[in-house]
Structure 1
Amino acid sequence: MSATRPAPPRPAAAGLGRRGLDGLRRCWGWLAPRLRRALTFWRRSIQARVVVSTVVLSAVVVSGVGWILLQQTRDGLLRHRADVVLGEVDAEVADARNRLEAASGRDVNPSRQQRDLVDPIIERGDSRGYAVVLAGPEGEDPPLRTGGGEYTSGLDLVSVPTSLEEHFDGPSRATAWTYTEIVRVSGAGGETRTSREPGIVVGSQVQLPSDGKTYTLYFLFPLSEEQETLGLVTRALLTAAGLLLALVAGLTWLVTRQVVTPIRMARRVAERLAAGRLQERLQVAGEDDIARLAYSFNQMATSLQRQIRQLEELSWVQRRFVSDVSHELRTPLTTVRMASDVLHDARESFDPATARSAELMQAELDRFENLLVDLLEISRFDAGAAVLSTENVNLGDLVRRVVDAARPLADQRGIRVAVEDPEEPVRADVDVRRVERILRNLVTNAIDHALADDPTEEVLVRLASDEESAAITVRDHGVGLAPGEASMVFNRFWRSDPARTRTSGGTGLGLAIAQEDAHLHGGWLQAWGRTGQGAQFRLTVPRHAGGTLRHSPLPLVPEDAMSSDAAVVVGPAGVVPRPEEGR
């Protein structure tokens, strides 16, 4: 019988770590959108950047000037205090020496003479705010660190710096001073308190007549008043700096507002002009540079509006002319077609020259009729009358139907057409007639531009799809296109080599119509090509009607092409050439 071992308890530290991570995630989730908004505002607001930059530079300058002023004030206060302290010490030492000389004949007890020397000085120090230490005699162990000597009550002897003690390591030393930290110890009820404050310590030597030895008097003067004065000056400078920075920020904001506000108005008007509201204009006020800029902007907008209207009128006239001519030509074309059919059917009874003429006339009438059909289709696109009739179909069936229809032309040129179809059906909501027309143009062009009678030549058609889009590529290894020609591949009536005979005929409008059909689906028609390496066209459409494309499931540049090749992307916005364009 097996027993289940209980799971070991989780360490408390692991739980605390997870709670800490959860807290950090929540904090970051709260902070991240605010940081993004702040960065977006910083990037978009020139006024904010100018104000912040000016305030930062002003703060640097004010900080530098304030630091220099504080240093000068501090040095001045210390120099003045040192002069006063040295004068007072000289007076005290002179008075002490006079008293020692007067008492030299009466008192020969060194201890009593030390107390008579230092006690009056300590009393005056208590009343005037300074402390006194009597150390010595010189040549013996210094008593300052061992608790010997006479000094002001409550003073910690560590207040006398070791460097100053070392200076008075012998007799006949000159008066010297230095900065120190005065430490005082006070206690009440068994509790000891320590206070510290900056100060100046001055040392001077005196000789006791009773034993002839040299003693050192240390005078410790606090710098509390100077510290308070320096703090007051610092607070005043900080207050003045804050007010100055606020004034600078306000002035900068007002100045930049006067410049940025007209620019923002010009941006809004420019956006409305770009949206088609050509009647928008800027308000002109004053005669300064901003007003003259607004006036020039309005003149430019008026000129553009006039030219755009002229181009629209010319475009409308051109479209109307093409549409009218296309419609008007259909009636005589029908009559000519009927006569041509009669002659073509009876050509076997004609002499060879007349029979050949009947065949040529029939072929040219077919081509002319195709041209009229294409012109009418282009007219519908230009007039915005083209609409989609979508249904959910298997694109693989459309591809195979187009390839089967183009196979006689491929066999005639000795070219093999292959279809690489995935195992899963590629389905999408498309207009079957328009997608078939796109594929027919792409496959026919690939066969027409492939290398004829080459046993290795192959036109490969591939299909793929994902959750959002479906794509079809048509790859050939023919003549390709030179750089710079790819930007014109979808232009109307354009051919890569007008001098070359086209076995498949064509009007020069096939790819232009295919481009418009792709636009109607909200899709992309893209092309890649290089001279001598062939070309590849890619059609990408949303799988669902009205969907938005973000990527294509098939690569545009073939796997057998160099990575430096480039492409021309044709999507709903038109032709977008990329660097080093190819077909």
Structure 2
Amino acid sequence: MTAAAPEEERGAAGSEGGRSAPPSGRPESGGRRTDPGSGLTRAYLFAQRAARALVRGAHTNWRRSLHLRVISTTLVLSLLVMAGLGYVLISQVRSGLLDAKIGTAVNDHRAGLNYALAELQENETGDRDRLMYNIANELADRSGDTGLYGVVILPSVDDELGWVGEKLEEAPDKKLEDSVPERLIDQIRDSMGDQQYHTYARIQSDTDGTEDPALVVGAELTHAYELYYVFPLQHEQEILDLVQRTVALVGTLLVILLGLIAYVVTRQVVTPIRSAAQSAERLAAGDLSERMTVQGEDDLARLAVSFNDMAGTLQEKIQELEELSKLQRQFVSDVSHELRTPLTTIKMAGDLLFDDRDELEPAMRRSVELLQSQVERFEELLADLLEISRHDAGAATLGIEPSDIRDAVMKAVGDAEQIAEKRGIKVIMRLPADPCVAEYDPRRINRILRNLVVNAIEHSEGRDVVVTAAGDRDAVAVAVRDYGVGLKEGEEHLCFDRFWRADPARVRTTGGTGLGLSIAKEDATLHGGWLQAWGMPGQGSQFRLSLPRHAETELRGSPLPLVPPEFSLGRAYPREGEDTT
């Protein structure tokens, strides 16, 4: 493979027309080579995304589904309980089996030890090796046809062979001489007398190399020999494995059964709750005729009855409020229309008197001027009442046309110029160089901006007013900032209520009906825009109007911040000459 790369490079360099020839034995694929690792990378990324999506889906279902949480919790707790009970049960069974086996093994070993000692006393002379061999085989024969244990006699002197007695027809491949642990041998040799010791070990097989558990019991036979009994624990291990499988099977079935029980019980509770939630959602959406189905006489049935009673009461109250609101709107509209005729007559008479005020006495002249101003204010109030009634009735319409928001700002500032000059206030405009065209109703937007500018002048406490306009790809915005009395906490929402005033004791110098900001809020909402307020006591306030570029589109953000930028610098007022845009 190391020679293939140079051949490909030579083939690429020597091909005609600047086109590289494909390597020998490989199909041409449009002049591109496929990286073998790229497929693995894509598969890994796909698996990673799939795993993340699975985790997110499981987490979402866990948060949203009470049914799933109850069942999952029941399964987990049941599994933990069954695991704990199974562990205790298996531990008890294992302890009982081993204790019984140890008792039997010690008794058998004691009997074999006594027999071996008796044989040694009767045959003190003779071939010692032959005697030990016979004793080992005799003791092994006593284990019965099943070969319950094997017998090992080891000399106390190292590097000497011992004697093994076992049922060869039962375990011909077991290496009993290697199954006696060294720790047990050392423990017996360090002891005094014929005290018995036991420990656990492994019996290794010559055929397949497997190791079976075993119990080894040993004691000193004479000063020169030690007697060991090796008891296989295969039968006990089989019993323990059977108990473990039985516990695992019963535990699994019990956990599944508890899960099914939890599913059925939870479903009986969750289904009515879901039905109640759906009914509440439809009721909140305006379907006042929505009612729950009542089944039975239990707690859930009483919940359904209470819900239906509540829904019926709400429907009655809402209908009463709708009728009352309809009558109020109709009354306001009728009164506004009916007052227009006498107001027109009064205004005509007042205009005549106002035109000839110079010929009147000073006291009469002042009365005529007050009459003229109050008639004009009364006319504005009637116009605002009519506009509010249109919004309440849902009859307000928009005359949408593409317009530059900068023109609306300049017109609003121009309309309020005389008021600002009287109070010695300078209105500063910060307008972008590029057009900020949006689709809106110029009449309503001009009214909003004029109202915001006049209110800023009214509450600026003699300081300048800053009007800023900006636009981005999706929206345009205008912010009107003053440095006057400001707003207290919570008043940024109350200021849009009808006839609300921040300071009732404050004397109005520019008139006003108390409906301007309410109408402005309704006009902004009608455009799908926002009209928001910010303020701090003694730090001034800022009102921001945000409109979408295109009508019938959702407004997701504003090009201007609601909180003035100078507050992010830790100062209440901008420094002289500082640009706060």
The Cα shift of 1:142 comes to: 5.2
Matched, 1:141 2:147: no
- Equivalent residue for 2:92? 72
- Equivalent residue for 2:470? 464
Matched to 2:202, the amino acid is E
Residue 497 of structure 1 is aligned with which of 503, 513, 519? 503
Q: TM-score, normalised by structure 1?
A: 0.86
Q: Secondary structure at the match of 1:246?
A: helix
- Equivalent residue for 2:264? 254
- Equivalent residue for 1:559? 565
Matched, 1:117 2:117: no
Listed as ranges, the matches of 1:359-438 within 5 Å are 359-438=369-448
Q: Distance in 2 between matches of 1:484 and 1:545?
A: 31
- Equivalent residue for 1:128? 147
- Equivalent residue for 1:342? 352
Contact 1:203 1:216 in 2 (8 A): yes
Listed as ranges, the matches of 1:496-515 within 5 Å are 496-515=502-521
Residue 487 of structure 2 is aligned with which of 477, 481, 485? 481
- Equivalent residue for 2:202? 181
For structure 2, the 5+ residue unaligned runs are 1-8, 11-34, 167-171, 572-581
Contact 2:492 2:532 in 1 (8 A): no
The Cα shift of 1:31 comes to: 2.5
Matched to 1:150, the amino acid is W
- Equivalent residue for 2:211? 196
Q: Distance in 2 between matches of 1:165 and 1:16?
A: 61
For structure 1, the 5+ residue unaligned runs are 7-14, 187-192, 208-212, 566-583
Matched to 2:251, the amino acid is A
The Cα shift of 1:159 comes to: 2.0
Q: Distance in 2 between matches of 1:267 and 1:346?
A: 71
Percentage of matched positions with identical amino acids: 46
Q: Secondary structure at the match of 1:242?
A: helix
Q: TM-score, normalised by structure 2?
A: 0.86
For residues 9-57 of structure 1, the C-alpha deviation after alignment (integer angstroms, 9 at most, x for no partner) is: xxxxxx7776655333211222333322222221111122122212222
Paired positions, count: 532
Q: Cα gap change, 1:471/1:501 in structure 2, threshold over 3 Å: closer, same or farther?
A: same
The Cα shift of 1:122 comes to: 4.6
Contact 2:205 2:211 in 1 (8 A): yes
Q: Cα gap change, 1:34/1:175 in structure 2, threshold over 3 Å: closer, same or farther?
A: closer
Q: Cα gap change, 1:461/1:543 in structure 2, threshold over 3 Å: closer, same or farther?
A: same
The Cα shift of 1:529 comes to: 0.8
Q: Distance in 2 between matches of 1:117 and 1:563?
A: 102
Q: Cα gap change, 1:480/1:292 in structure 2, threshold over 3 Å: closer, same or farther?
A: same
- Equivalent residue for 2:16? none
Q: CA RMSD in A?
A: 2.5
For residues 536-574 of structure 1, the C-alpha deviation after alignment (integer angstroms, 9 at most, x for no partner) is: 011111112122122222111112337999xxxxxxxxx
Q: Secondary structure at the match of 1:540?
A: strand
The Cα shift of 1:517 comes to: 0.7
Contact 2:195 2:219 in 1 (8 A): yes
Contact 1:135 1:142 in 2 (8 A): no
Matched, 1:264 2:274: yes
Residue 59 of structure 2 is aligned with which of 34, 39, 55? 39
For residues 333-371 of structure 1, the C-alpha deviation after alignment (integer angstroms, 9 at most, x for no partner) is: 222222222222233333333333332222211111111
Contact 1:167 1:173 in 2 (8 A): no
Matched, 1:228 2:241: no
The Cα shift of 1:183 comes to: 1.6
Q: Cα gap change, 1:335/1:127 in structure 2, threshold over 3 Å: closer, same or farther?
A: closer
Matched to 1:116, the amino acid is N
Contact 1:156 1:184 in 2 (8 A): no
Q: Distance in 1 between matches of 2:473 and 2:526?
A: 20
Q: Distance in 1 between matches of 2:497 and 2:292?
A: 37
